[in-house]
Amino acid sequence: MREQARLESGESFGEGPPDKVVGSDDVSDEEAQQYVSDVQRALRVLEAEPRDMTLSEVKLTISIESPRERQLRKMGIENESGASRDEMAVALEEVARGATPNDRIALKALAEEMNEWTSVWTQEADNAEPSSRA
- Residue type at 38? D
98-126 average pLDDT score? 85
- Give CB contacts under 8 A, 24+ apart, made by 90-99: 90/13, 90/14, 90/16, 90/17, 91/17, 91/39, 92/39, 92/55, 92/58, 92/59, 92/62, 93/55, 93/59, 94/17, 95/36, 95/39, 95/40, 95/43, 96/43, 96/55
What's residue 108's pLDDT? 95
102-112 average pLDDT score? 95
Stronger pLDDT, 65 or 35, i.e. the higher one: 35
Q: Is pLDDT of 7 > 50?
A: no
Q: Is pLDDT of 4 > 70?
A: no
Stronger pLDDT, 35 or 134, i.e. the higher one: 35
Question: Per-residue confidence at 3, pLDDT binned at 50, 70, 90?
Answer: low
Q: Is pLDDT of 13 > 60?
A: no
17-36 average pLDDT score? 88
Average pLDDT, the chain: 80
Q: Where are the domains of the chain?
A: 26-118
What's residue 42's pLDDT? 92
Contact predicate 38/114, CB 8 Å = yes
